[in-house]
Amino acid sequence: MKLRALTAGTAATALLLAAGCGGSEGETVTNAEGEQLDKVTLTLNWYPYGEHAPFYYGKQQGIYEEHGISLDIRAGQGSQKTVQATAAGQTDFGWADTPALLAGVSQGLDVKSMGVYLQTTPSSVQFFSEQNISEPADLKGKTVASTAGDALTNVFPLFLEANGMSEQDVEVQNTDAAGKMAAVMQGQTDALLGYATDQGPTMQEKSGKEVSYLRWAEHGLNFYSNGLLTAQEVLDDRGDLAQRMVAATTEAWEQAGEDREAAVDAMEGASEQLPSKQVLTEQFGETLELLHTDATEGERPGVNTPEDWKKTIDIFADAGVIEEAGEPGEYWNSDVAPKE
């Protein structure tokens, strides 16, 4: 079935039918064909970048509309804030890093994952290739930019340990999330901790110098990354909507992966801070390499296993991000998650 492409005119003619008068029904709109859709908000983990292309593609191609959803995509300001906003009911759904979800649940936030899509972590040490760093041992004596308190910083010691090193072997220089790239480009640090799907391509374009990576998943440490989440209240009161949101998202990721150029093009105008098309393309290409573990290879995007969840939970308990390793069901609702 060919999906309808949404046009600006279609969006402009959408009519508000219900003004969110509390309760669990939410708001609805009608499209140009007179079909009633649930008005849904999705808050990202950060300002739009290539990783988010499937959401914009799914909206543009009418995939969410086919599942009865009128999707409003909002920029985020970090996974932690997205998890908090989702728990507070300020957004219907969130796209956030699993470590932030684990930490939020351990702190009493009533949220659940509906499926992790990036199952191989994009976490990496990033640096200009001229640094001649080819293996973790080459980081000894280097200065690495990081952000105090975030998941990458908390887990970095485990990465070092997995590679026969200690925290004393590397100097970590704390800066805000936006300042890490500047620290490397200005020569204040030798490297940064970040996502291979995010900073690297941007830093390479801005500096004109090649960027290389030590990807944690290739050096002994893998864990779940970004996925779809919602508040327990939504699961309890609007379970059908949650299932449709997951189904549409999985479909959007599948089709975007088969139509990469169109997926990137769908992001045009998504943000004033949007990277160039070249960077978006590189970011999205990197992202598509992260959709599975060995246990889910060949499955649909977002299909998770309890065993993979347990591995991630144990890693972040060992890192002190959560005090105690709970069972997967405390963090993940498998009932609405994508099915095999």
Q: Report the C-alpha gap between 119 and 217 in whole angstroms.
A: 10
For residue 340, what pLDDT is reported? 59
Q: How far apart are CA 321 and CA 105, in angstroms?
A: 11
Angle (CA) 222-286-212 rounded to 5° is: 80
Q: What is the chain's pLDDT, residue by residue, as a tens digit (340 residues)? A: 223 333 333 333 232 333 333 334 589 999 888 899 999 999 999 999 999 999 999 999 999 999 999 999 999 998 999 999 999 999 999 999 999 999 999 999 999 999 999 999 999 999 999 999 999 999 999 999 999 888 889 899 999 999 999 999 999 999 988 899 999 999 999 999 999 998 999 999 999 999 999 999 999 999 999 999 999 999 999 999 999 999 999 999 999 999 999 999 999 999 999 999 999 999 999 999 999 999 999 999 999 999 999 999 999 999 999 999 999 999 999 999 877 5
Residue 22 gets the label, from left (phi > 0), alpha (psi -120 to 50) or beta, of left
The pTM (predicted TM-score) of the whole model is: 0.89
* Contact of 232 with 111, CB cutoff 8 Å: yes
Helix (H) or strand (E) holding 10: helix 8-12
Q: Which tokens belong to 223?
A: 């864990």
Using alpha carbons only, what angle is made at residue 151 by residues 245 and 168, rounded to the nearest 5 degrees?
Answer: 160
Instruction: Pick the closest to residue 36 from 69, 5, 58, 10 (CA basis).
Output: 69
Residues 290-315 as b/e (b if ≥16 CB within 10 A, e otherwise) read: bbbbeebeebbbbbbbeebbeebbeb
The C-alpha angle 262, 265, 269, rounded to 5 degrees, equals 150
